[in-house]
Structure formats: structure tokens, C-alpha cells
């Protein structure tokens, strides 16, 4: 299947498929960011989604598109936390066995959140590649059905429903700042927004530590990128050397990629809390971080996507209080 098959129609179908499971999330104008930037800045509050992140959209769409036989075999997924939570939630609603494989870099609160949805969690190795080996074994030896975190047409279409919601509220939008990891979110959002509003610029935002898609785009092909510990842990992990969809879609649809430092991510989390009254994890704050650090200086209407809130509250308290994370 080629990337051409991930169409606006597929995204609109996904919106209908998942309508009874997810809820549309608010878009608000940020007074503080609009003042800082001198232009209207809006926030898409996707961190308020039912499982605390956008991942529920793609996971639900993928689950609902499985055959009865595929469902009966159970599903398995690789995750840095949020995909696992969304997949576990949707699998539980549909009575499907679910196993999530993760690396030891995933925070405990995210592991606990997945277990709370009834899924089995397996911690394998120190990076996503190690955990992927267990996923592959479960598919090969136990015949489980793989639901990958990003490089899958149903996942991308599900995430693209966010773009439809943004366009519905902001049809003349000029810039969209989208957190960037494996590329499922930005590919779907970019496809939806640019299909409706071709002049809208899509800017990916990732962390400086282990920005896999950024490095792959620089190299012109999928490459191995070392995973590093970061406040934006949900954005960690590689894109897969056999990436079929998101590398090309990011290359073709994304206008720029910006990287933010750990201190800038922390400032984004603090700003979200003190100025916007929102609790977000590091990955959910990277778009705000890019704005307040002036790494992007938009001149026209812009939306910043806040994609996740699944942060350990002790860690969040330290960040917003300016305390050391090692204490």
C-alpha cells in the first residue's frame, strides 16, 4: 500500500468510525502567547482527550478496522506510553486481549496507566528496538495482531481527525505547530489540514535529545537514532528502518522541523500551567516551548497542538516549581 492511499476521505471515514469513543477537544485562544508573539495563537487542547493524549484516535480507528479473526488473536503494540494507553483502552472496550511492550525508559506513571486499562505490560531492554523484538516474537509465535504506534494507515487516518477539528474552527489557519516523534500525528494532521487549506504551513517540533524523524529527514532516509532520556519521553524512539508511510509523508507535507532543549521544554510545561492553567507532559509542551523561546516567530494565525497530559505529578510539581528533577 502506498502513502497515496492515506487520503482525506480515509481521514473523514476515521472521524465517523471513532466518534462514539473519543471526544472532540477544545481550541482556545491564548492571550499570553498572542501577546508574546504579536499574532493570534490558539491552543488545541488534545491533552484533554479521554486517555490523556491524541493516541486514542489512531488506536481506536485501527481496532475498529480489524476483522473478527484478527480481534480473536489479541493485539500487541510497541509504545513509549501514550499509544499503549490508547490501545489498551480501546481493546478493553472491544473485549480484546492486549499486550504492550515498552523499554525501561518509559516512566512508571505511564506503565501504571496502561495496566489500569487491563492490558499486560512487558518491559524489554533499554530502547524501543529491544522492545520491538518482543513484539515481533508475539506476532510470529503467538499469532497476535500488531497495532503499531504510528506507521500504519489506520493510525495515521485516526490522528488526522485532529486536523479536521482544527480546520473546522480555524479554516483560514496559517501555521500549525505539531509535536513530532514517529510521524503518525503530523502526517495525519498535515494531510487533513493541507487538503482543506493548502496554504497552511505545518511545523514539526521535537526535542534536541534523540529527535529521530529530524535526523532521518536530514539523512534523506530512515536511519537508527540513539534513544535518549528526555522530558519529552513520549517523543522518543526511532521511526523504523522499514518505515513505509510517515517518513515520506513528513518529507512531503511538513514545511519545517524545530528542535527544543530540555530547559525550553520545562519552560513550556511551566507556561502551560501558570499562564494557560493546563497540565501537560513534556511532549505536550514542545509547541509552546518553540513559541516562548522564539525559535519560531509566526506573523499570522497559528495553532499549537498540546498532545498529552500523562506526566508524573511529582515530576510536574518539580518542573513548575523550578526544582531540580534529581531531588
pTM: 0.95
The pLDDT tens digits of the residues spanning 231-261 come to: 999 999 899 999 999 999 999 999 999 999 9
**Average pLDDT, integer, range 293-321:** 97
The pLDDT value recorded for residue 287 is: 98
Mean pLDDT calculated for residue range 89-116: 95
The mean per-residue pLDDT over the stretch 183-212 comes to: 98
Average pLDDT in the chain = 96
Segment 45-100, tens digit of pLDDT: 999 999 999 999 999 999 999 999 999 999 999 998 999 999 999 999 999 999 99
- Please report where in the chains the cell 530540555 appears, as a residue: 262
Q: Which residues of 108-137 are buried (b: 16+ CB within 10 A; e: fewer)?
A: ebbbebbeebebebebbbebbbbbbebbee
Estimate the crossing angle of helix 55-64 against helix 82-93, to 10 degrees. Answer: 40
Q: What is the pLDDT of residue 297?
A: 97
The phi, psi pair for 10, rounded to 5°, reads -65, -40
Within 10 A of 71 (CB to CB), how many other CB atoms are there? Answer: 17
Cα dihedral: 271, 273, 274, 277 (round 10): 120
pLDDT at site 327? 54
User: What integer pLDDT is reported at residue 311 of this predicted model?
Assistant: 96
- The pLDDT, as a whole number, for residue 101 is 97
Q: How far is CA 43 from the centre of its chain?
A: 15
Domains of the chain: 3-52+153-321 (3.40.50.1100), 56-146 (3.40.50.1100)
CB 150 within 8 A of CB 184: yes
Minimum mean pLDDT among 3-17, 21-35, 219-233, 248-262: which range?
3-17
* Residue pointed to by grid coordinates 533499554: 126
Answer yes or no: is pLDDT of 326 > 90: no
Q: Give the span between the Cα atoms of 14 and 274, in whole angstroms.
A: 35
State the pLDDT confidence band at 3, using cuts at 50, 70 and 90.
Answer: very low
pLDDT > 90: percent of the chain = 94
pLDDT of 135 over the 60 cut: yes
Residue 22 has pLDDT above 60, yes or no: yes
Inter-residue contact 121 to 151 (CB < 8 Å): no
Amino acid at each position: 500500500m502506498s502513502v497515496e492511499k492515506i487520503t482525506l476521505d480515509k481521514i473523514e471515514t476515521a472521524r465517523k468510525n471513532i466518534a462514539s469513543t473519543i471526544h472532540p477537544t477544545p481550541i482556545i485562544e491564548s492571550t499570553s502567547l498572542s501577546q508574546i508573539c504579536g499574532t493570534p495563537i490558539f491552543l488545541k487542547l488534545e491533552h484533554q482527550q479521554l486517555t490523556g493524549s491524541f493516541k486514542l484516535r489512531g488506536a481506536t480507528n485501527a481496532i475498529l478496522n480489524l476483522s473478527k479473526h484478527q480481534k480473536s488473536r489479541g493485539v500487541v503494540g510497541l509504545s513509549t506510553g501514550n499509544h499503549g494507553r490508547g490501545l489498551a483502552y480501546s481493546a478493553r472496550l472491544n473485549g480484546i486481549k492486549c499486550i504492550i511492550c515498552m523499554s525501561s525508559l518509559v516512566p512508571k506513571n505511564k506503565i501504571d496507566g496502561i495496566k489500569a486499562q487491563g492490558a499486560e505490560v512487558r518491559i524489554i531492554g533499554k530502547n524501543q528496538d529491544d522492545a520491538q523484538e518482543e513484539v515481533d516474537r508475539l506476532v510470529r509465535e503467538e499469532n497476535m495482531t500488531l497495532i503499531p504506534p504510528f506507521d500504519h494507515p489506520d493510525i495515521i487516518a485516526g490522528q488526522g481527525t485532529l486536523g479536521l477539528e482544527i480546520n473546522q474552527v480555524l479554516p483560514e489557519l496559517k501555521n500549525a505547530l505539531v509535536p513530532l516523534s514517529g510521524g503518525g500525528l503530523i502526517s495525519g494532521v498535515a494531510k487533513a489540514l493541507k487538503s482543506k487549506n493548502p496554504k497552511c504551513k505545518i511545523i514539526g517540533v521535537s526535542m534536541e535529545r534523540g529527535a529521530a524523524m529530524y535526523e532521518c529527514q536530514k539523512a534523506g532516509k530512515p536511519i537508527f537514532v540513539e534513544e535518549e532520556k528526555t522530558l519529552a519521553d513520549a517523543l522518543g524512539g526511532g521511526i523504523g528502518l522499514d518505515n513505509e508511510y510517515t517518513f515520506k509523508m513528513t518529507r512531503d507535507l511538513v514545511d519545517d522541523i524545530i528542535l527544543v532543549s530540555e530547559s525550553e521544554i520545562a519552560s513550556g510545561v511551566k507556561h502551560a500551567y501558570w499562564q494557560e492553567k493546563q497540565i501537560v507532559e513534556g511532549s505536550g509542551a514542545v509547541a509552546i516551548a518553540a513559541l516562548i523561546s522564539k525559535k519560531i516567530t509566526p506573523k499570522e494565525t497559528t495553532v499549537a497542538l498540546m498532545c498529552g497530559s500523562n506526566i508524573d505529578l511529582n515530576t510536574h510539581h518539580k518542573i513548575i516549581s523550578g526544582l531540580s528533577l534529581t531531588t
